[in-house]
A = this chain, B = another copy of it.
Amino acid sequence: MKQKYLAALLVAGLATSAAFAQVKPEQQIEYRKSAMTVFARSTGALNAMAKGDVPFNKDVAQRHAAVLANLSDLPLSGGAFGPGTDKGAPHKSDAKVWSEPEKFKAAFDKFATAARALPAAAAEQGTLKTALADLGKTCKGCHDDYRSK
């Protein structure tokens, strides 16, 4: 059973040697939660500028966009949802992350793809707003299925 589980994770690209060898489950959980907190802050800052709640600042927008674009896939590719990380510390990841890893990867990849479109879009308020709407759908899509209520 464990072999089959690992094989499924490997197919989905969730299992890397670095993730297995070096990072304890509680550290992986802390990293994925931290990355989500950073994503939330950066999307919040960008949304505030896109909506005009705070003045659009291209330099700040570019930095938040670059954080999202570059960090987006690292929790998945760098060891944050590895085997055994459904336990070890409090978290909100649903058990389906590990029971259907390929579907989870597909949902996460949509987020990473949308995040990588942000740096170009963040040059202007209008294009940023459109890109953030696209990003928001991918956040919701993954959270609906893979974040516990």
Contact = CB atoms under 8 A, between A and B. Distances in A.
When all copies of this chain in the complex are counted, the total is 2
A65 B13 CA distance: 22
A125 B73 CA distance: 22
Size category of the A interface is 20 to 34
A38 B38 contact: yes
Given A66-B66, A66-B70, A67-B70, A78 B41 contact: yes
A37 interface: yes
Interface of A: 17-18, 22, 30-31, 33-35, 37-38, 41-42, 45, 48, 54, 60, 62-64, 66-67, 69-71, 73-74, 77-78
28 contacts: A17-B54, A18-B45, A18-B48, A22-B48, A30-B37, A31-B37, A31-B41, A33-B34, A34-B34, A34-B37, A34-B38, A38-B38, A38-B71, A41-B74, A42-B74, A45-B78, A60-B78, A62-B70, A63-B70, A63-B74, A64-B70, A64-B74, A66-B66, A66-B69, A66-B70, A67-B70, A67-B74, A71-B71
